[in-house]
């Protein structure tokens, strides 16, 4: 690792051949990816020999870090034994995964559908909700992301939907406010607001009898690790029940110990009818998506055709990986560790909030933290806009992320937030290294970022 996190090092040599491929969520011109050649624990190395501390679990997915032997051996053994069967069959691996899930998923969610990604898990949830209720519309929130496929992108509130609006979206989404106290969309202050963001959603439920479900990330993910107040999810749950709508909790990012509990709803409440997840279910060693429902939701299809499925549904290798990953979370007590280390990370970041005017807010739960960058602490004007991102501009947060990479720490940013979500196996000395690198990066770049033009040149 770099001996001095305040000193940037030479840039890595990009891979030229890989640049012939598409890459998601960016302007294609100029993509010159770093080639990763080795990885172990919380670290990976590029072709130029540079070492990086992974402080993002890649995309908030590799919760167990790299090189977990139990998961790797389970994958290899399953590939040798029964590599694949079509979903109408079953395997011992599917049984083991189901048993492991029932031990950790909220107890009222007893039926599981397996796909290959978070967006597919949400597609299944949306289809199920519409079929069960006989209604068409979905309430989602403005600051949200639920996936890239047609149904999932349609209920995503952020800028990724805007570029395909009307081209690759499904009609029937109604957007409402999120519970974002730092930047309240209603201009109110908690607790005097009486959680008016829930009332706004209930008003829609009361006025429109065609609402099938409300979909939320219990803790908003990419769009800033936004934590709800304690009353929010229980009140939203009560509102959906009063009006006959289902509640879908998207825990693609927040599951598997990320927020210091198995799932965010374990601590924030809400008791969803449907819970979706992916990423950490196998620690991203192989792709797997999960859609978990109540028995009541499942019963609607007991004697009725279920119009959904995938070739790779309940893939045996993915089932083996999931059972092994859950076993490793339990063996290493990583859920409790995430809670403790998350408190430590927030404690270490607090002095940075004081010393860097560019930091407007630091928030998170467990090992899921966002550092929000602002131009002005008093006005809370964000440093970076959706229009700039869609236009392909280099945002201030991109420069911060690049500065961290130059100091041997990999993480990612979105709009005006730096996301910090290391593997749950992270050591506290590694947390110290990452925070020191962030401090040094902000000291170097902070003044120039604050003085940059408000709108990037086109």
- The mean of the pLDDT values for the chain is 94
Poorest-confidence range of 23-27, 65-69, 388-392?
Answer: 388-392
* pLDDT above 90 (res 31): no
Residues 6+ apart with CB under 8 A from 401: 411, 412, 413, 418
d(CA 116, CA 317): 11
Q: Write the pLDDT tens digit of every residue in 404-446.
A: 999 999 999 999 999 999 999 999 999 999 999 999 999 999 8
Which domains are seen in the chain, by residue range?
Answer: 17-67+333-450 (3.90.1150.10), 69-331 (3.40.640.10)
- Reported confidence tier of residue 29, pLDDT bands at 50, 70, 90: confident
pLDDT score for 389: 82
Could you give the C-alpha distances from 183 to 180, 200, 304, 379, 385, in angstroms and in order?
6, 16, 45, 10, 15
Rounded Cα distance, 291 and 138, in Å? 17
In this prediction, residues 334-361 reach a mean pLDDT of: 97
* Pairing of β 359-364 and β 289-294: unpaired
pLDDT on residue 12? 62
Only one residue has tokens 């990370």, namely 345
Asked if residue 387 has pLDDT above 90, the reply is: no
Contact between 418 and 411 (Cβ < 8 Å): yes
Sheet of 109-115, strands arranged across: 109-115, 289-294, 274-277, 246-250, 211-216, 137-141, 173-176
- Of the two residues 452 and 48, the one the predictor is more confident about is 48
Question: What percent of the chain clears pLDDT 90, i.e. is strictly above it?
Answer: 85
**291-323 pLDDT, tens per residue?**
999 999 999 999 999 999 999 999 999 999 999
Phi, psi of 173 (to 5 degrees): -100, 135
Spatial CA neighbour of 148 closest among 171, 164, 172: 164
Q: Looking at residue 311, what is its pLDDT? A: 97
Distances (CA, A) of 408 to 63, 418, 430: 19, 16, 11
How far apart CA 123 and CA 101 sit, in angstroms, is: 20
Least confident of 128-142, 387-401, 421-435: 387-401
Least confident of 25-29, 180-184, 212-216: 25-29
Q: What is the mean pLDDT of residues 341-345?
A: 98
Tokens 């007893």 found at: 110
Closest CA to 9 of 458, 456, 440, 439: 440
Q: 428-450 vs 334-355: helix axis angle to the nearest 10?
A: 30
Please list, in sequence order, all residues whose beta carbon lies within 8 angstroms of the beta carbon of residue 23, skipping any fewer than 6 positions away. Answer: 31, 33
**272, pLDDT greater than 60:** yes
Confidence of residue 243 (pLDDT cuts 50, 70, 90): very high
Which of the four pLDDT bands, split at 50, 70 and 90, describes residue 11?
low
Kindly report which listed range (3-12, 195-204, 226-235) carries the lowest average pLDDT score.
Answer: 3-12
Q: Which helix (H) or strand (E) holds 371?
A: strand 369-376
pLDDT (0 to 100) of residue 3: 47
CA 139 to CA 91: how far, in whole Å? 37
What's the chain's Rg over C-alpha atoms?
Answer: 22
Quick one: average pLDDT of 268-281?
A: 97
What pLDDT does 6 receive?
64
Mean per-residue pLDDT, 38-58: 97
Residue ranges of E strands in 217-342: 246-250, 274-277, 289-294
pLDDT at 390: 79
Beta bridge mates, 43? 40, 53
Helical residues (DSSP H) of 82-185, grouped into ranges = 92-102, 118-133, 150-154, 159-162
Is pLDDT of 458 > 50? no
Residue 447, number of CB atoms within 10 A of its CB: 12
- For the cut 70, the answer to whether the pLDDT of residue 19 exceeds it is no
367 contacts 382 by C-beta, under 8 angstroms: no
């Amino acid at each position: 690792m770099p001996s001095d996190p305040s000193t940037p090092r030479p840039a890595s040599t990009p891979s030229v051949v890989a640049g012939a491929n598409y890459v998601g969520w960016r302007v294609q011109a100029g993509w010159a990816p770093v080639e990763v050649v080795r990885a172990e624990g919380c670290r990976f190395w590029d072709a130029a020999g540079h070492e990086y501390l992974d402080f993002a679990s890649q995309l908030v997915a590799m919760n167990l870090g790299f090189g977990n032997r139990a998961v790797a051996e389970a994958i290899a053994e399953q590939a040798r034994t029964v590599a694949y069967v079509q979903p109408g069959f079953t395997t011992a691996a599917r049984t083991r995964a189901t048993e492991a899930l029932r031990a950790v998923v909220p107890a009222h969610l007893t039926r599981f559908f397996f796909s290959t990604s978070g967006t597919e898990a949400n597609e299944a949830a949306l289809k199920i909700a519409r079929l069960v209720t006989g209604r068409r519309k979905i309430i989602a929130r403005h600051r949200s992301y639920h996936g890239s496929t047609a149904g999932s992108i349609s209920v995503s509130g952020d800028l990724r939907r805007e570029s395909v609006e009307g081209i690759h979206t499904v009609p029937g989404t109604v957007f409402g406010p999120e519970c974002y106290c730092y930047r309240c969309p209603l201009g109110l202050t908690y607790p005097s607001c009486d959680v008016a963001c829930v009332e706004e959603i209930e008003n829609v439920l009361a006025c429109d009898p065609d609402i099938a479900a409300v979909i939320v990330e219990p803790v908003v993910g990419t769009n800033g690790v936004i934590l709800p107040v304690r009353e929010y999810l229980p009140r939203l749950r009560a509102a959906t029940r009063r009006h006959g709508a289902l509640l879908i909790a998207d825990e693609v990012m927040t599951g598997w110990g990320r927020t210091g509990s198995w799932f965010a709803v374990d601590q924030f409440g809400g008791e969803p009818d449907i819970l979706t997840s992916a990423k950490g279910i196998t620690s991203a060693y192989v792709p797997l998506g999960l859609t978990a429902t109540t028995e009541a939701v499942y019963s609607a299809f007991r004697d009725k055709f279920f119009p959904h499925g995938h070739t790779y549904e309940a893939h045996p290798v993915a089932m083996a990986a999931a059972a092994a990953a859950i076993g490793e979370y339990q063996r290493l007590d990583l859920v409790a560790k995430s809670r403790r280390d998350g408190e430590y990370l927030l404690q270490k970041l607090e002095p940075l909030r004081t010393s860097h005017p560019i930091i407007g807010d630091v928030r998170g739960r467990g090992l899921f933290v966002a550092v929000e960058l602002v131009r002005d602490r008093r006005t809370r004007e964000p440093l970076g806009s959706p229009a700039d991102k869609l236009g392909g501009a280099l945002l201030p947060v991109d420069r911060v992320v690049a500065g961290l990479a130059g100091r041997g720490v990999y993480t990612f940013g979105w709009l005006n937030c730096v996301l910090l979500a290391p593997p749950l196996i992270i050591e506290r000395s590694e947390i110290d290294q990452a925070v020191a690198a962030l401090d040094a990066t902000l000291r170097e770049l902070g003044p120039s970022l604050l003085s940059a033009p408000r709108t990037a040149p086109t």
